[in-house]
């Protein structure tokens, strides 16, 4: 069934979260009129958090702790695995996720307090693991900027993943951190096709602007790589080498990729998006995803890579392309040894 597309929005469904006991559906009342619904507007609610650093499962090799300044994301990426988290707020993972946002204005203050604890042990903090730290509302709220100011003051290592060219705004802080080997930025580029990107990620920066941001960060001395993420079979997988090549031409020397995962309600949202925008490819995409994830819907939300032929071929293509371009050869680890707790950082500034 093909659903309506809200201008500038990713989801084509406003489904209920999995914890809801009721479901709502738009129906024809028999009067022969189809009343136009009001457009979805972005609202931001202040969230008073008690802490901001999230510790990860020790078995996760990518990062041990993260920080998210926002809940929900106005970029509206249809495939975003974080959509399902809106169900915990009694909101829809569909259009609510990209229109009803939550901001943590006290994040920098809470971060400073946590870093000052005697029990704190320094390890890189990852920004952008759940929702984008540079989504459009960051222009007004500037919470990510405040977080960077605290981390720079304390010489604390961090990594950033974003789909937004707004990261260029903070080049002054990022360059300062980079001089001390304290930051690594990755910009996610899903596709170079502007029309496809507009449908997949309606309010994220265009592919061209993301490549420009990669170039500008690297030119300023900030190590900025590319993430080809997510790779979607029959939709974006053919672009893997082209994305890597374009990013390399813009200065990227590190790269990664990830396969699409569809946990919980994201599966229904993505299936409906496919049927709406690419009905002739929808069945092929979903069947291939199931094959990649063990042959059933149960594995669609998994982080694990399976040993199916498509996944193995994709891994080989990525390694060959990176080898040809000379990427991922000289990775410099982030420095966690120069960390200064906030209290000492403030005292030292007096001398």
Q: How far apart are CA 334 and CA 8, in angstroms?
A: 37
The answer to whether the Cα torsion of 169, 201, 11, 260 is positive or negative is negative
**What's the pLDDT score for residue 302?**
77
**CA distances in angstroms from 269 to 92, 169, 274, listed in the order given:** 11, 33, 9
Q: How far apart are CA 102 and CA 89, in angstroms?
A: 10
Q: What are 313-341's pLDDT values in tens digits?
A: 999 999 999 999 999 998 889 999 999 99
Reply yes or no: is the peptide bond before residue 230 cis, omega within 30 of 0: yes
Q: What angle do CA 270, 272, 275 make, to 5 degrees?
A: 110
Give DSSP secondary structure letters for 210-246.
Answer: HHHHHHHHHHTT--EEEEEEEE-TTTTGGGHHHHHHH
Q: What are 202-223's pLDDT values in tens digits?
A: 999 999 999 999 999 999 999 9
Q: What are 114-140's pLDDT values in tens digits?
A: 999 999 999 999 999 999 999 999 999
Q: What are 271-322's pLDDT values in tens digits?
A: 999 999 999 999 999 999 998 877 777 778 777 666 689 999 999 999 999 9
Q: What are 124-181's pLDDT values in tens digits?
A: 999 999 999 999 999 999 999 999 999 999 999 999 999 999 999 999 999 999 999 9
Give DSSP secondary structure letters for 20-46.
Answer: -S--------SSS--PPPPPP--EEEE
**CB of 130 within 8 A of CB of 66?**
yes
Q: What are 238-272's pLDDT values in tens digits?
A: 999 999 999 999 999 999 999 999 998 999 999 99
Q: pLDDT higher for 64 or 199?
A: 199
**What's the pLDDT score for residue 26?**
53
Residues in the chain, overall count: 351
The two tokens of residue 138 are 């960051």
**What's the pLDDT score for residue 56?**
76
* 27 pLDDT tier (thresholds 50, 70, 90): very low
pTM of the model: 0.88
Instruction: State what percent of residues in the chain have pLDDT above 70.
Output: 85
Q: What angle do CA 137, 169, 334 make, to 5 degrees?
A: 105
Please give the domain boundaries of the chain with CATH numbers for all domains: 43-256 (3.20.20)
Instruction: State what percent of residues in the chain have pLDDT above 90.
Output: 75
């Amino acid at each position: 069934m093909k659903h309506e597309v809200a201008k500038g929005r990713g989801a084509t469904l406003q489904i209920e979260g999995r914890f809801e006991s009721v479901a709502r559906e738009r129906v024809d009342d028999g009067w022969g009129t189809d009343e136009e619904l009001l457009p979805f507007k972005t609202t931001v609610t202040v969230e008073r958090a008690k802490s901001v650093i999230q510790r990860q499962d020790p078995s996760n090799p990518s990062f041990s702790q993260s920080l998210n300044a926002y809940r929900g994301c106005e970029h509206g990426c249809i495939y975003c695995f974080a959509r399902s988290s809106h169900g915990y707020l009694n909101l829809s993972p569909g259009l609510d996720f990209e229109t009803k946002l939550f901001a943590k204005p006290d994040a920098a203050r809470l971060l400073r307090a946590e870093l000052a604890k005697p029990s704190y042990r320094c390890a890189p903090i990852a920004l952008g693991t759940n929702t984008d730290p540079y989504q459009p509302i960051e222009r007004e709220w500037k919470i990510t900027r405040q977080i960077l100011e605290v981390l720079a003051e304390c010489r604390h290592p961090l990594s950033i993943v974003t789909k937004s060219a707004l990261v260029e705004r903070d080049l002054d802080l990022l360059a300062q951190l980079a001089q001390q080997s304290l930051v690594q930025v990755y910009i996610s580029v899903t596709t170079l096709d502007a029309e496809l990107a507009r449908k997949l990620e309606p309010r994220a920066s265009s592919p061209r602007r993301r490549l420009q941001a990669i170039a500008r960060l690297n030119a300023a001395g900030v190590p900025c790589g590319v993430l080809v993420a997510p790779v979607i079979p029959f939709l974006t997988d053919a672009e893997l080498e082209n994305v890597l090549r374009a990013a390399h031409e813009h200065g990227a020397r590190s790269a990664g990729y990830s396969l699409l995962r569809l946990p919980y309600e994201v599966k229904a949202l993505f299936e409906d998006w496919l049927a709406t925008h690419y009905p002739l490819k929808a069945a092929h995409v979903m069947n291939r995803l199931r094959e990649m994830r063990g042959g059933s819907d149960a594995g669609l939300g998994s982080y694990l890579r399976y040993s199916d032929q498509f996944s193995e071929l994709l891994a080989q293509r990525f390694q060959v392309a990176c080898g040809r371009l000379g990427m991922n050869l000289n990775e410099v680890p982030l420095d966690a040894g120069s960390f200064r707790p906030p209290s000492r950082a403030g005292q030292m500034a007096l001398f």
